[in-house]
Amino acid sequence: MVKEQPPTIKGFKASAVAAGLKKTGDRDLALFFSELPAAVSGVFTTNQVKAAPVLLTQEHIRSGKARAIIANSGNANACTGKEGLENARRTAALVAKELGIEPEEVLVASTGVIGAQMNMGAVEGAVPQLVGTLSPGGLQDAARAIMTTDSFPKISRFEGTVQGVPYHILGIAKGAGMIMPQMATMLCFVLSDIHVERSDLDRAVSDAVQTTFNRISVDGDTSTNDMVLVLANGLAGNGLPNPEEMELFTRGLTQVMGELATMIVRDGEGATKVVHVRIRGAATPHDAETAARVVANSSLVKTAFYGQDPNWGRIMGALGRAGIIMKEDAVDIWINEVKIVENGLGRGVRFEKEAAEQMKEATFELIIDLQQGGCEDRVITCDLTHEYVSINADYRT
Amino acid sequence: MVKEQPPTIKGFKASAVAAGLKKTGDRDLALFFSELPAAVSGVFTTNQVKAAPVLLTQEHIRSGKARAIIANSGNANACTGKEGLENARRTAALVAKELGIEPEEVLVASTGVIGAQMNMGAVEGAVPQLVGTLSPGGLQDAARAIMTTDSFPKISRFEGTVQGVPYHILGIAKGAGMIMPQMATMLCFVLSDIHVERSDLDRAVSDAVQTTFNRISVDGDTSTNDMVLVLANGLAGNGLPNPEEMELFTRGLTQVMGELATMIVRDGEGATKVVHVRIRGAATPHDAETAARVVANSSLVKTAFYGQDPNWGRIMGALGRAGIIMKEDAVDIWINEVKIVENGLGRGVRFEKEAAEQMKEATFELIIDLQQGGCEDRVITCDLTHEYVSINADYRT
């Protein structure tokens, strides 16, 4: 969560400008800069339709080192063909030239409307100011500049030590469309001053993403532009972490990404509730994950959350079509501590009323015990509201 | 579609009463009766959680003959355990006794709230009146009595001949929740006076369902209560149909079910648009079906339909995550006759404006050519609206 002092991290600077890519005139271009070449690790969309900046950044992180991220909102630079890829490449080159570094050291991320070519005049005009205003305190502004339908900037921090030497992790994210996250671009940039080998960094990032960004609402599918980038510049001055210290670092990364992921759900388009869907007693890990995702993704379950209605019949219906091992008469369901279903049967109005009370909270748990085995999983989701429809019916107008 | 004269069909009677299962006091119990034992065929939900009436009716149609269907709205009799199954069985017995037939000749169908036990006192009290008011002209009232969130009764008819002897098909359906049809119970009862073997009837029904009810919005998943029942009483007096005549009968069934399916989409909860999503040029039949379903089921695509916005980027994003063989730069997209995407790139504002005009119509086509092979499929879907959220957030209150 955001602390009182403005967030900074050793050896990193940032800046943000209004280049004119957003029709609103808000800031829409952000730059993150590492004074030293940083170890870099990235996780990208699994969508077959990949935006130009995704293709370019995948190419640029192959070296294992990076120094800058330029990120824009207002235009996704997706479905833009060769011209789009050329524009992403040119953006990296413009930033590199202005910073006096190599184009391959610049990573590019975009979010916004799909299918329109970038206004390269606007980007070109803005880069000198972007580089000229870089400062250690610019991270907050940069976090704002990458927002699209987000209603607040998302920042999270962690501090750990390696052999007594303190290091820091600072994560910034954008994302708000949680009904179909595969279409609501999620960008996350994590900056750290830890000294760490690239292979260890890759493993830690992959583990942290698995239990955080891959467990918020729905189906793990991603948009054309999704990207998690982690840069570690080594300026903490620590020696290489031992296995336990790497575990602590992975926990720190997981905490930062977990907080950002939860903020994204809380800021879900039109969302009024954050719901933790927990599956217990599944026969296999795959069943546990599938059950959690199918329930968390059901429009009817999500509208019932909005209506604060413990409509467990819809939950049973979702479980029944999930393709998992289940027995109707073995299912138990709770809202927080209130058990509303026992062995597949409702426990009556009294418990439903108690559960409805719990559902008035901004955050609650839906717990489902399948009683088929020992596997568990959980997905964080939000409710489906009138506001969601408004935002998405009007998005481009 | 409904013709001017009230729908009747030789040898069938129907009736409807208000038994008190719906809180509104509307008619909620319908009976269909065949004077002679009729050949019967049924298609049922694939949901693992099956309502009691589904289990009972599956048992009762094994003999291949049936004489009555009792259908109620207001209560799904799903997730009701042994008591629920006993209640379904008792309902069949009550109807059989009053009609003077065997309980195994009575089929039971239910739709409404999941997880509440049936008010058997209300059912028991209503059965004598239900049987007492059976009449050939009662089909229209029966079609109304099975409605839940439906805004109009759904009836469709066909007339064919076998060796010059005319026969008739009359279909009645209910269903309106098209975002997640697996949860919005769809009931369809088709009555015919054709004389046909049960095995031939089964094949015709299976074929007709495949291209109609299994091709409306989304994923072919079904609710706990979905049921298609076809009764053929043979009173047309035709000889057994030859293969060509069976083909005509199958086409007739397909036409009736297709019209009913389209009515269900048009009546989708809160829907303002019916959209035919057509996939061409898919590498495999499976890819064609998957692509059509994923696009037709995307909340973001459906809200764009509502906003009359030819937001093809969302369509590309959906195709990209469908897990099909595709190349971004080979995709062409049309709204009706207006091509908005060519080889994966937008054709510009002029065509988008023309497409937006087309999207003002109540019904339009979205055509996607993947250019990867020769396979096609289509799914009929509707838009996602404010009204959908209202209906489903308030359903039980």
Per residue, what are the HEC states of chain A?
A: CCCCCCCCCCCEEEEEECCCCCCCCCCCEEEEEEEEEEEEEEEECCCCCCCHHHHHHHHHHHHCEEEEEEEECCECCCCCHHHHHHHHHHHHHHHHHHHCCCHHHEEEEEECECCCCCCHHHHHHHHHHHHHCCEHHHHHHHHHHCCCCCCCCEEEEEEEEECCEEEEEEEEEECCCCCCCCCCCCEEEEEECCCCCHHHHHHHHHHHHHHCHHHECCCCCCCCCCEEEEEECCCCCCCCCCHHHHHHHHHHHHHHHHHHHHHHHHCCCCCCCEEEEEEEEECCHHHHHHHHHHHHHCHHHHHHHHCCCCCHHHHHHHHHCCCCCCCHHHCEEEECCEEEEECCEECCHHHHHHHHHHCCCCEEEEEEECCCCCEEEEEEEECCCHHHHHHHHCCCC
pLDDT-based confidence at residue B270 (cuts at 50, 70, 90): confident
Residue A221 has pLDDT above 60, yes or no: no
Question: How many angstroms separate the CA atoms of B335 and B361, rounded?
Answer: 11
Q: Which site among B44, B46, B49 would you substitute to test the A interface, given the most A Cβ atoms closer than 10 Å to its Cβ?
A: B49
pLDDT value for A385? 76
* Chain A residues whose beta carbon lies within 8 Å of the beta carbon of residue B388: 303, 389
Q: Is B87 within 8 Å of B117 (Cβ atoms)?
A: yes
Question: How many angstroms separate the CA atoms of B78 and A199, rounded?
Answer: 53
* Chain B residues whose beta carbon lies within 8 Å of the beta carbon of residue A384: 389
State the helix-helix crossing angle for A299-306 and A312-320, rounded to 10 degrees: 160
Instruction: Please identify which residue in the block is written with the tokens 């039971």.
Output: B108
Nearest to A317 among B183, B299, B318 (CB): B183
Average pLDDT value for residue range B150-159: 91
* Chain A residues whose beta carbon lies within 8 Å of the beta carbon of residue B79: 312-313, 316, 328, 344-346
Question: How many angstroms separate the CA atoms of A318 and B124, rounded?
Answer: 32
Instruction: Please identify which residue in the block is written with the tokens 């991220």.
Output: A69
More reliable by pLDDT, B299 or A363: A363
- Structure tokens, B172: 């009645």
H or E element: which one contains B318?
A: helix B312-320
pLDDT value for B267? 82
Question: How many angstroms separate the CA atoms of B292 and B247, rounded?
Answer: 27
Q: Which site among B226, B384, B392 would you substitute to test the A interface, given the most A Cβ atoms closer than 10 Å to its Cβ?
A: B392
- A303 Cβ neighbours under 8 A, 6+ residues apart: A383, A384, B388, B389, B392, B393
Report the gap between the CA of B138 and the closest CA in chain A (Å).
32
Question: How many angstroms separate the CA atoms of B367 and B334, rounded?
Answer: 5
- A394 Cβ neighbours under 8 A, 6+ residues apart: B307
- Structure tokens, B77: 């009799």
* Chain B residues whose beta carbon lies within 8 Å of the beta carbon of residue A313: 76, 78-79, 113-115, 224
Q: Strand, coil or helix: what is B338?
A: strand
pLDDT value for A47? 87
**Lowest-pLDDT choice from A225-229, B110-114, B265-269:** B265-269
Q: Which site among B299, B331, B397 would you substitute to test the A interface, given the most A Cβ atoms closer than 10 Å to its Cβ?
A: B299
Burial A314-323 (b: 16+ CB within 10 A, else e): bbbbbbbbbe
Residue A268 has pLDDT above 60, yes or no: yes
- Structure tokens, A126: 């803005």
More reliable by pLDDT, A219 or B301: B301
Cβ separation of B78 and A224 shorter than 8 Å? no
Question: How many angstroms separate the CA atoms of B78 and B113, rounded?
Answer: 8
Question: How many angstroms separate the CA atoms of B324 and A297, rounded?
Answer: 21
H or E element: which one contains B313?
A: helix B312-320
Cβ separation of A384 and B389 shorter than 8 Å? yes
- B97 Cβ neighbours under 8 A, 6+ residues apart: none
pLDDT value for A177? 56
Instruction: Please identify which residue in the block is written with the tokens 């979205």.
Output: B366
Pairing type for strands A165-174 and A187-192 reads: antiparallel
pLDDT value for B216? 83
**Residue B70's closest CA among B17, B22, B121?**
B17
pLDDT value for B168? 97
Average pLDDT value for residue range B188-196: 97
Nearest to A316 among B114, B177, B312 (CB): B114
Report the gap between the CA of A331 and the closest CA in chain B (Å).
10
Average pLDDT value for residue range B347-369: 96
Burial B147-161 (b: 16+ CB within 10 A, else e): bbbbeebbbbbbebe
* Chain B residues whose beta carbon lies within 8 Å of the beta carbon of residue A270: none
Question: How many angstroms separate the CA atoms of B119 and B20, rounded?
Answer: 8
Percent of chain B's residues with pLDDT above 90: 72
Q: Is A53 within 8 Å of A61 (Cβ atoms)?
A: no
pLDDT value for B138? 94
pLDDT value for B184? 62
* Chain A residues whose beta carbon lies within 8 Å of the beta carbon of residue B116: 346
Q: Which of B57, B111, B185, B290 is catalytic?
A: B185
Cβ separation of B384 and A386 shorter than 8 Å? no
Q: Which site among A48, A86, A349, A385 would you substitute to test the B interface, given the most B Cβ atoms closer than 10 Å to its Cβ?
A: A48
pLDDT-based confidence at residue A272 (cuts at 50, 70, 90): confident
- Interface contacts (A, B; CB < 8 Å): 191
Residues forming beta bridges with residue A106, ordered by sequence position: A68
Encode pLDDT of A171-202 as tens digits: 999 886 544 434 467 899 999 999 999 999 99
Cβ separation of B115 and A313 shorter than 8 Å? yes
**Residue A192's closest CA among A163, A239, A234, A154?**
A234
**Residue A319's closest CA among A331, A336, A307, A311?**
A331
pLDDT value for A300? 78
pLDDT value for A24? 85
Q: Is A304 within 8 Å of A311 (Cβ atoms)?
A: yes
Identity of residue B49: V
- Structure tokens, A24: 């609103």
Encode pLDDT of B328-345 as tens digits: 999 999 999 999 999 999
Average pLDDT value for residue range A314-341: 94
pLDDT value for B397? 38
Task: Determine the residue of chain A that is closest to B329 in CA distance.
Answer: A81
Q: Is B67 within 8 Å of B61 (Cβ atoms)?
A: no
pLDDT value for A218? 47
Residue B342 burial class via C-beta count within 10 angstroms: exposed 0-12, middle 13-18, buried 19 and up: middle
Residue A100 burial class via C-beta count within 10 angstroms: exposed 0-12, middle 13-18, buried 19 and up: exposed
Cβ separation of A81 and B329 shorter than 8 Å? yes
More reliable by pLDDT, B397 or A374: A374
Encode pLDDT of A122-178 as tens digits: 999 999 999 999 999 999 999 988 887 788 899 999 999 999 999 999 999 988 654
Q: How far is CA B244 from CA A215, B122, B164, in A?
A: 54, 47, 13
Report the gap between the CA of B76 and the closest CA in chain A (Å).
10
Question: How many angstroms separate the CA atoms of A378 and A365, rounded?
Answer: 10
Q: Is B173 within 8 Å of B264 (Cβ atoms)?
A: yes
pLDDT-based confidence at residue A4 (cuts at 50, 70, 90): low
pLDDT value for B240? 96
pLDDT value for B369? 98
Identity of residue B66: A
Residue A11 has pLDDT above 70, yes or no: yes
Percent of chain B's residues with pLDDT above 70: 92
Residue B300 burial class via C-beta count within 10 angstroms: exposed 0-12, middle 13-18, buried 19 and up: buried
* Chain A residues whose beta carbon lies within 8 Å of the beta carbon of residue B392: 299-300, 303-304, 307
pLDDT-based confidence at residue B394 (cuts at 50, 70, 90): low
Nearest to B303 among A298, A346, A389 (CB): A389
Question: How many angstroms separate the CA atoms of B174 and B166, rounded?
Answer: 27
Centre a 10 Å sphere on the Cβ of residue A133 and count the other Cβ atoms it contains.
15
Residue B289 has pLDDT above 60, yes or no: yes
Report the gap between the CA of A141 and the closest CA in chain B (Å).
28
Phi, psi (rounded to 5 degrees) for B184:
-105, 105
pLDDT-based confidence at residue B211 (cuts at 50, 70, 90): confident
**Lowest-pLDDT choice from A346-360, A371-385, B122-136:** A371-385
pLDDT value for A394? 58
Encode pLDDT of A12-56 as tens digits: 999 999 999 988 888 999 999 999 999 999 999 888 999 999 999
Cβ separation of A346 and B79 shorter than 8 Å? yes
Cβ separation of A304 and B115 shorter than 8 Å? no
Question: How many angstroms separate the CA atoms of A53 and A44, rounded?
Answer: 11
Question: How many angstroms separate the CA atoms of A327 and A279, rounded?
Answer: 14
- A82 Cβ neighbours under 8 A, 6+ residues apart: none
Q: How far is CA A151 from CA A116, A176, A218, A264, A269, in A?
A: 24, 8, 21, 10, 9
As a whole number of Å, the CA-based R_g of chain A is 22
Instruction: Please identify which residue in the block is written with the tokens 């001017």.
Output: B4
Residue B377 has pLDDT above 60, yes or no: yes
* Chain A residues whose beta carbon lies within 8 Å of the beta carbon of residue B385: 389, 393
Identity of residue A6: P
Cβ separation of B223 and A317 shorter than 8 Å? yes
Average pLDDT value for residue range B43-56: 93
pLDDT value for A392? 63
Average pLDDT value for residue range B192-204: 97
- To the query of whether residue A212 is one of the catalytic residues in this protein, the response is no
Cβ separation of B328 and A79 shorter than 8 Å? yes
Average predicted confidence (pLDDT) for chain B? 90
pLDDT value for A303? 84
H or E element: which one contains B27?
A: none
